[in-house]
A and B are shown apart, each in its own frame.
Chain A
Amino acid sequence: MSADNKCCCCGGGNQFAQLDEMLAKYQGVKGALIPVLQEAQNMHGYLPKEVIERIAEKLDIPVSQIYGVATFYSQFHLNPRGRNIIRVCQGTACHVRGAKAVLKAIEDNLKIAAGGTTPDLKFTLETVACIGACGLAPVLMVNDDTHGRLTPEAIPEILAKYA
């Protein structure tokens, strides 16, 4: 089950050096799994299989259990994520003001479905139920930027800023 010989994302050397350093901090700490997964995800952008296996080995937690935790919480991702995370609001206010068409415009532009990531890893597209900016409906967020009062026509220009 050792992942020593596999490379995940950063070539050469001990690709787990940073991860191991973080894990050392949590040796013997009870209830450490969720913060560990959060930190590991911050390092890698997502939770690669090899990273989960390394965490299992170092914290002596069965890999099946870590997989269970990582798939239970929507904050954890097991597949690579884009550098830019688009969150398109599909809440009630946005819905009545045309959020569906906005979402479709993004899907068409990026050629991915909601939940997907572009092959060049530039964008991950997600839907959310409400981001609390109903006055700007329909609204989306790219990373920490909010874009409101959207029309499908406005989408290409917004995406171009992050491409």
Chain B
Amino acid sequence: MSAHIAFRTSVVALAMHALLFRSAPAVAAIVGGGGSSRVDCLAAFDAPVNAPAAKPRGIRCADGDPACDLDGTVNGVCNFRVSVCANSTFNPAACALNGVRLITVEHAADNGDPKFDPEFQALQTRIDSDIGPYPNNDSDACTTATNFFVAIKGPLKNDKCKRNKKQIRLIAESTLAAGQGTILVDKDKLDLVCDPPVGGCDPGALFTGTYDRVQRQIFNQSCAVSGCHDSNSFVDAGNLLLEASAFPANLINRTPTNADANGLGWKRITQVDPNTGDPDTSFLMHKLTGDLPGSGLGARMPRGRPKLDATLINVMKLWIEAGAPDTGWVSGTD
């Protein structure tokens, strides 16, 4: 006998309790996450939702706003905490289902998925540990809260920056018993939006130094991603690991694995002395600009994606010219 799988979605929001966060407008609430209200209780989010104001179903926060950014400091990143609940009783009149056979977080597997995010993976682990093993028939079975960090976009030219968004997407499946012979599916979304800080996007305020900016704004966002230069995949990406905790030994004056770059005498980053470097013989620089004479030097980076913003390429250039220091500000990059 095969089970019918029904896909239904809905929107419901109801404030439940206000414990976790310091002040209004963020109020911890259970939100269904969208879809048909009849199945919306299979999985729900427990989060300090505040947007849109009339009917909150997501979190929106300016970087550093102590009312909603948990780190409370202007650092280019908003910190949110989100729990997931199974068999929620937040709206029993509409949905009283009790019985979940699986909850899956999208983009939670580091398998080359360009949308993979370790924070989705951490949420999946929480769900597996706190709501699993399945089936779970307990009412309001909730996870411990998981941290999410949303970095603003930028700053780029003239220190301009834009809001950025992370969207958590869940798929919850009911047990056959709960669905009375049918597997019901509840698809949920939660938007986490980080707005630029009220005072603007001065890099000197957002980052601790030039390397911190290079790491967080360039490497973390465009290079150390699934299938590329992260721990799981870097061996197949020129053996170049660009996660924060690997710097600087793998970059400074290291010979690239690319034979042609090696033949040209280039290094990954060429440091002449601690205060001087040479972008022209730094393979990393060529990879970002696309100045790659001959096919043997491989593709421009980030591979298959738009060229890095000119402002960031210039930050990289100035940083390398200054010897790629791991602390302090290089003039022109702050």
Chains A and B belong together in one complex: no
